[in-house]
């Protein structure tokens, strides 16, 4: 167990335990809220961007293990948030430095986690934990602030792999709203955006603010709608294009959304699916998916553009993949992962539809995939 140390003084020594459903146990110190957290545990390989990951709705219902050893040295600030609150169910780190060093920081990571009610543990051998998850797969877990290992292990075994309530229900907005903010500089100041030439409806499956900002920067007038909005309602507004955002959970369980995707495709409105939205489009076309053993999450994943051979470094967060042999004949694969061969992007030959499994709006992360937004605006321009 590693206590937080600042100038030779012990800052935190409150115990915490992490228990996995298979009985594996780790001890550490509590750096977040009191109590306990139950969720599926996953790992992320990003070296930066802990705040964006914590606030990303696509991580709703998950305990996130950061494989990079030092998390929290840059603190937390309101500008970098991916949404309006922390979305993760829990946090596991190797070391949380007691001293934050960033001119933009307004809070330390432990202060933020406690404020947001996120249970977290530091002092865990995350390299050992990640190897265990790679070998045995993601599973239920419990973080407990305290030293009751028997309770933590009993609670971890109770985590259902597929809860009845889908995380998208909690991640989506409750009502439609307009978004007009464009990209920001490091000080949080707005960067001037071009005039809005396209009206775009965004299905909020767990949308990140960076996606909305990038659409505005591309010249789009953005309206965000709840995940349960009928396609007929969206189409009645005569949008130039529709975006299905990324989000959490198993796409095959979103049966009502799959039906709405089919209606949107049939309407031949320019359509862009990102992350979970990409998977929903593929399944609605008749493809089949498969659950990965431990998922792919990080900001350094190489993806090859099929037409050019160009390699993009991308941001990823997925636990399910589309089986390429099940895609219909009218689907052209545009991008594939160099890690696992996963279908990373596709287009339809007979409709203005495109999907991308990674996050072109990555923030932080690489900008290699951002030209996909231009491709989407090209589809909208050609469809007028």
In-domain check, residue 161 = no
pLDDT recorded at residue 364: 81
Residue from 310, 289, 287, 300 nearest 339 by CA: 300
What domain range includes position 340? 167-383
Count of structural domains within the chain: 2
In-domain check, residue 210 = yes
Clarify whether residues 343 and 207 are in a common domain: yes
Clarify whether residues 139 and 210 are in a common domain: no
Of 134, 156, 178, the last residue of a domain is 156
Clarify whether residues 374 and 336 are in a common domain: yes
Contact between 24 and 18 (Cβ < 8 Å): no
The residue-averaged pLDDT of 239-243 equals: 98
Q: Which two tokens mark 99?
A: 């001293």
Q: Which contacts qualify for 128-132: CB closer than 8 Å, 24 or more apart?
A: 129/18, 129/26, 129/43, 129/65, 129/92, 130/43, 130/65, 130/67, 132/20, 132/24
In-domain check, residue 268 = yes
Clarify whether residues 152 and 176 are in a common domain: no
Clarify whether residues 277 and 224 are in a common domain: yes
In-domain check, residue 318 = yes
Clarify whether residues 378 and 262 are in a common domain: yes
Clarify whether residues 283 and 325 are in a common domain: yes
Of 156, 178, 202, the last residue of a domain is 156
CA distance 90 to 121: 8
pLDDT recorded at residue 190: 77
CA distance 61 to 248: 8
pLDDT recorded at residue 143: 98
Clarify whether residues 319 and 182 are in a common domain: yes
Q: Residue 382 belongs to what H/E stretch? A: helix 371-383
Clarify whether residues 109 and 193 are in a common domain: no
Q: Work out the end-to-end distance of the chain between its first and last CA atoms, rounded to an integer number of angstroms.
A: 62
* pLDDT value at 61 more than 80: yes
* pLDDT value at 108 more than 80: yes
Clarify whether residues 152 and 171 are in a common domain: no
Any idea which residue has 């190797």 for tokens? Answer: 94
Per DSSP, 84 falls in state S
Q: Which two tokens mark 150?
A: 């028997």
CATH number for position 68: 3.50.30.20
pLDDT recorded at residue 176: 98
In-domain check, residue 162 = no
Please, which pLDDT band fits residue 17 given cuts at 50, 70 and 90?
very high
* pLDDT value at 203 more than 90: yes
Of 100, 125, 156, the last residue of a domain is 156
Clarify whether residues 173 and 143 are in a common domain: no
Residue from 279, 216, 218, 220 nearest 245 by CA: 279
Clarify whether residues 241 and 136 are in a common domain: no
pLDDT recorded at residue 249: 86
The pLDDT mean for the chain works out to 92
Q: What is the pLDDT of residues 271-285, one digit of tens each?
A: 999 999 999 999 999
Contact between 129 and 43 (Cβ < 8 Å): yes
In-domain check, residue 44 = yes
In-domain check, residue 195 = yes
The dihedrals phi and psi of 319, each to the nearest 5 degrees, come to -115, -5
* pLDDT value at 69 more than 70: yes
CATH number for position 286: 3.40.50.880
Please, which pLDDT band fits residue 237 given cuts at 50, 70 and 90?
very high
In-domain check, residue 250 = yes
Beta bridge partners of 64: 42, 91
């Amino acid at each position: 167990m590693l206590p937080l140390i600042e100038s030779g003084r012990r800052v935190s020594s409150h115990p915490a335990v992490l228990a996995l459903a298979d009985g594996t146990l780790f001890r550490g110190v509590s750096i977040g809220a009191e109590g306990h957290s139950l969720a599926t545990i996953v790992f992320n390989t990003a070296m930066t961007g802990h705040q964006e990951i914590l606030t990303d709705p696509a991580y709703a219902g998950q305990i996130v293990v950061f494989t990079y050893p030092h998390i929290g040295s840059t603190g937390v600030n309101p500008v970098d948030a991916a949404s309006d609150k922390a979305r993760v169910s829990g946090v596991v780190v190797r070391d949380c430095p007691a001293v934050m060093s960033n001119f933009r920081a307004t809070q330390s990571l432990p202060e933020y986690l406690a404020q947001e009610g996120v249970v977290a543990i530091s002092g865990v051998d995350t390299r050992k934990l990640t190897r265990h998850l790679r070998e045995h797969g993601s599973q239920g877990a419990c973080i407990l602030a305290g030293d009751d290992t028997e309770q933590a292990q009993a609670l971890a075994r109770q985590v259902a792999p597929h809860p009845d309530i889908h995380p998208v229900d909690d991640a989506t907005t409750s009502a439609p709203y307009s978004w007009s903010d464009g990209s920001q500089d490091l000080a949080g100041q707005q960067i001037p955006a071009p005039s809005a030439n396209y009206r775009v409806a965004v299905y909020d499956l767990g949308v990140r603010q960076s996606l909305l900002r990038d659409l505005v920067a591309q010249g789009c007038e953005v309206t965000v709608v709840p995940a349960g909005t009928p396609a007929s309602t969206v189409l009645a507004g005569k949008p130039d294009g529709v975006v299905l955002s990324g989000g959490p959970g198993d796409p095959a369980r979103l049966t009502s959304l799959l039906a709405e995707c089919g209606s949107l495709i049939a309407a031949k409105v320019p359509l862009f699916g990102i992350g979970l939205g990409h998977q929903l489009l593929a399944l609605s076309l008749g493809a089949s998916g498969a659950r990965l053993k431990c998922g792919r999450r990080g900001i350094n994943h190489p993806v090859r553009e099929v037409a050019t051979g160009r390699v993009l470094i991308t941001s990823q967060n997925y636990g399910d993949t589309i089986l390429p042999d099940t895609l219909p004949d009218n689907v052209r694969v545009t991008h594939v992962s160099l890690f696992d061969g996963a279908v990373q992007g596709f287009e339809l030959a007979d409709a203005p539809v495109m999907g991308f499994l990674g996050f072109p709006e990555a923030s932080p992360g690489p900008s290699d995939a951002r030209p996909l937004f231009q491709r989407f605006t090209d589809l909208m321009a050609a469809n007028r």
